[in-house]
């Protein structure tokens, strides 16, 4: 296929290549699609960090004030940019007025505000929901790609979506990054840095919002597990950003203050913390997916997750991890931790997790999205001036 004949794909996302789970998803996927050579990839964003792939960037101005109109202004800016070019397909990773393919990184905004945040909608929320509703009901979207069954079911419960036009496509993971470093060297380095003994069982938590990610329930679960097995040497390693003081106080009140280590956020070398640990836990109140769960599996760690984590789609109960129906049930979480004190069980479940992760690479995701592009382009026909509202 010649360069001139390549379909022109417009990828819409506010931030490209910056820090964040959703941003990482778009970057890893889009870079691979651009390197594939079958498509001419254009990214419409207001901020970006270019990668090595041949991507054309289009600046969508960011208007910080008034904040409540930000989503509508972004959507309008995207529409104007789309009107300038002839695109064969528009792939949105955010709420805009119109797209051919929509990857759902979240749940409907009204549902998020009402059921997860449990607060009254602000003017910002109302505008966000209005843009979303216009896209879902009038935007002509041919394919809906939720990142988990949680996201898919939430959208289907609110909007009329043809199930045959929805495909759950989970995020990918870089297997080499999380499995190729020397595990023994990582264990020695990280454990020596924080005074963790070589035989102590390290429970890893990674998250940037301690409250939403359920760190309080995790600390309680660790305290309960230690009371069930006072002979076990357990440590909780917390990697991420949040109100450390609050959780240090909680740990101290439960008698495990010395067993909880707060590392803070890690920008480089996060894989070393996975490889230095023995199991992973995430008891989020809500997480559309939770890429850290897949990273833990790629690192050969058994996982314990709540039913509100979208990555539960990948958990095979008792095989590669454990799924807790109620993430607030610290006693149930403690019971799973006690089961994973058995080194042989951890090793077997870790291997099973790695097998799961090996079927969820970024290359696999790019291939699946490429198939959607081909179907959507074939149905839509050649570009005739751009997909606009």
**What is the predicted pLDDT for the residue at 385?**
43
| Full pLDDT tens readout for the chain, 389 residues | 445 589 999 999 999 987 777 889 999 999 999 999 999 999 999 999 999 999 999 999 988 788 899 999 999 999 999 999 889 999 999 999 999 999 999 999 999 999 988 999 999 999 999 999 999 999 999 999 999 999 999 999 999 999 999 999 999 999 999 999 999 999 999 999 999 999 999 999 999 899 999 999 999 999 999 999 999 999 999 999 999 999 999 999 999 999 999 999 998 899 999 999 999 999 999 999 999 999 999 999 999 999 999 999 999 999 999 999 999 999 999 999 999 999 999 999 999 999 999 999 999 999 999 999 999 999 877 664 445 44
> Which residues contact residue 134 at a Cβ distance below 8 angstroms, ignoring those fewer than 6 apart?
97, 389
Q: Distance between CA atoms of 366 and 376, rounded to whole angstroms?
A: 15
Whether residue 334 contacts residue 304, with contact meaning beta carbons closer than 8 Å, is answered with: no
Structure pTM? 0.92
Report DSSP state, residue 212: T
Dihedral of the CA atoms 268, 178, 208, 188 (nearest 10)? Answer: -70
What pLDDT was estimated at residue 290? 94
Q: Which two tokens stand for residue 6?
A: 């390549």
CA-closest candidate to residue 282, choices 228, 232, 238: 238
CA distance 31 to 349: 32
pLDDT of residue 242: 92
What distances in angstroms separate CA 382 from CA 34, 95, 143, 337, one per listed residue? 20, 24, 17, 55
- All structural domains of the chain, each given as residue ranges with its CATH number in brackets, are 3-172+361-380 (3.40.50.2000), 175-358 (3.40.50.2000)
DSSP-derived secondary structure for 7-72: PEEEEE-SEESSSSHHHHHHHHHHHHHHHHSSSEEEEEESEE---SS-EEEEE-----SSGGGHHH
**In the prediction, which pLDDT does 87 show?**
95
pLDDT, residue 278, reads 98
* Contact in structure between 150 and 308 (CB atoms under 8 Å): yes
Is residue 258 a contact partner of residue 233, using CB atoms and an 8 Å limit? no
């Amino acid at each position: 296929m010649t360069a001139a004949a390549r379909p022109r794909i417009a990828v819409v996302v506010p931030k490209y290549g910056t820090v964040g789970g959703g941003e990482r998803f778009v970057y890893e996927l889009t870079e691979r699609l651009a390197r594939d050579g079958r498509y001419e990839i254009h990214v419409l964003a207001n901020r970006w960090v270019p990668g090595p792939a041949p991507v054309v960037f289009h600046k969508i101005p960011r208007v910080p004030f008034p904040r409540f109109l930000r989503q509508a202004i972004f959507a309008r800016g995207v529409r104007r940019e789309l009107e300038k070019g002839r695109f064969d397909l528009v792939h949105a990773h955010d709420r805009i007025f119109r797209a051919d393919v929509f990857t759902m990184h979240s749940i409907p905004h009204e549902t998020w505000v009402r059921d997860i945040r449990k607060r009254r909608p602000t003017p910002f929320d109302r505008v966000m929901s209005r843009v979303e509703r216009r896209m879902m009901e009038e935007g002509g979207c041919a394919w809906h790609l939720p990142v988990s069954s949680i996201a898919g079911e939430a959208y289907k419960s609110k909007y009329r979506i043809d199930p045959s036009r929805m495909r759950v496509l989970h995020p990918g993971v870089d297997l080499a990054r999380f499995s190729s470093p020397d595990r023994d060297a990582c264990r020695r380095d990280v454990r020596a840095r924080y005074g963790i003994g070589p035989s102590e069982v390290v429970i890893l938590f990674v998250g940037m919002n301690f409250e939403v990610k359920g760190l309080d329930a995790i600390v309680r679960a660790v305290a309960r597990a230690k009371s069930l097995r006072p002979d076990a040497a357990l440590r909780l390693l917390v990697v991420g950003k949040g109100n450390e003081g609050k959780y240090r106080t909680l740990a101290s009140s439960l008698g495990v203050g010395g067993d909880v280590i707060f590392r803070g956020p890690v920008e480089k070398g996060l894989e070393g913390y996975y490889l230095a640990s023995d199991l992973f836990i995430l008891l989020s109140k809500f997480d559309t997916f939770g890429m850290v769960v897949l990273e833990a599996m790629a690192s050969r760690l058994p996982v314990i997750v709540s039913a509100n984590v979208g990555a539960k789609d990948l958990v095979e109960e008792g095989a590669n991890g454990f799924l807790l129906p109620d993430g607030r049930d610290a006693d149930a979480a403690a019971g799973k931790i006690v089961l994973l004190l058995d080194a042989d069980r951890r090793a077997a479940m870790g291997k099973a997790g790695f097998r799961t992760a090996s079927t969820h690479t970024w290359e696999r995701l790019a291939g699946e999205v490429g198939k959607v592009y081909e179907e959507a382009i074939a149905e839509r026909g050649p570009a005739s001036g751009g997909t606009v509202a």
